[in-house]
A and B are shown apart, each in its own frame.
Chain A
Amino acid sequence: MRIAVALFPGTNCEHDVEYALGLLGADVEIVWHREGDLSDFAGVVLPGGFAHGDYLRTGAIARFSPIMDEVARLAKEGRPVLGICNGFQILCEADLLPGALIANRDLDFICKPVHVRVETTDSVLTRRAEVGMVLRIPLNSYEGNFVADEATLDALEARGRVVLRYCDPDGNVTDEANPNGSARNIAAIAGGVHGNVVGIMPHPERAVEEILGSADGRVLLESFLEAAEEAP
């Protein structure tokens, strides 16, 4: 099963994603953003980094890269699309996910492991997890603060599309456990007609082996690959 990892100028996590998905048995190919055909791929990952230098707004320029038409097509067809960190920002700018990501509440670049709680298993990122499971995954971003208007947030909640929330090590969702000011502690959301498009701010691909300090990201990436396996 082939998974595409999109490479924009300024992307810097493509090899981490390639390694992590490869470790879990996927056949991964890094695809340059000017390529116009992803029809041979069961799913696509938009990795972290600083696509197009983050100029204008994070993800704003990347949205118009040719590969994004293909990402939108895969999303529409129900194949899994995963945006990690900068990839999440790109999916929001491309209107494939609702809301936007702005500078962290305290204007810090945050680079540390955080805890997130699984809110639903009805997503391509959490289908192999359990509701209430607490995962420890590295966060590495300046613009990680998820914002959306109240109606959009309510709609996400009502449709069960809040996938992960920042929490304390015991799974309590509190203001203190919210590292970047994200609305309702949101760390990952799902979108798309089939809920098959997911954006996540922390980096599951950096938590796939104990030697990295945590293997908690595995269940998320295994979920993604399982969804790709079954995708239309």
Chain B
Amino acid sequence: MSEPLRFRVRILRKPEIADPEGATTARALRDLGYDVVEVRFGREILVELPPGDADEAEAAVHEMCERLLANPIIEDYDVERL
């Protein structure tokens, strides 16, 4: 219980929202000869919380995503405990 609690938050643009960076990169990969269907960019955020109840901490990280880390209008997120 004395270990810090570490979480990985992954944020991805919702499928229906255009990802110009991904589209441009996919085009470049095709130019290099790769058979690429789609590339999508996201963001990875590592969050460390002090030792304590892991479930409570995970719930807090979800709340952080809802309030600040992700924009629910354009992004989906998932939280993974490390």
| A residues in contact (CB < 8 Å) with B | 56-57, 60-61, 64, 92-93, 98-100, 102-107, 145, 147-149, 181
Contact = CB atoms under 8 A, between A and B. Distances in A.
A102 B17 contact: yes
Contact count band on B: 10 to 19
9 tightest Cβ-Cβ pairs between the two chains A and B: A100-B73, A100-B74, A107-B20, A103-B20, A147-B17, A105-B20, A100-B71, A57-B71, A107-B24
A179 to B, nearest CB: 13
For the complex, would chain A's binding face be called helix, strand, loop or mixed by DSSP majority?
loop
B18 A181 contact: yes
Contact of B73 (A105, A107, A148, A181): A148
Contacts of A92: 73
Contact of A107 (B16, B21, B68, B74): B21
Nearest to B41: A103
A93 B71 contact: yes
Contacts of B24: 107
B54 interface: no
B26 interface: no
Nearest to B13: A102
B68 A64 contact: yes
Interface string B1-31: 0000000000001001110110010000000
Nearest to A107: B20
Contact of B20 (A57, A64, A98, A106): A106
A64 B69 CA distance: 12
Contacts of B74: 100, 102, 147
Nearest to B70: A57
Given A147-B73, A147-B74, 12 more contacts: A56-B68, A57-B71, A60-B71, A64-B68, A93-B71, A98-B73, A100-B74, A102-B13, A102-B17, A102-B20, A107-B20, A147-B17
A89 B49 CA distance: 30
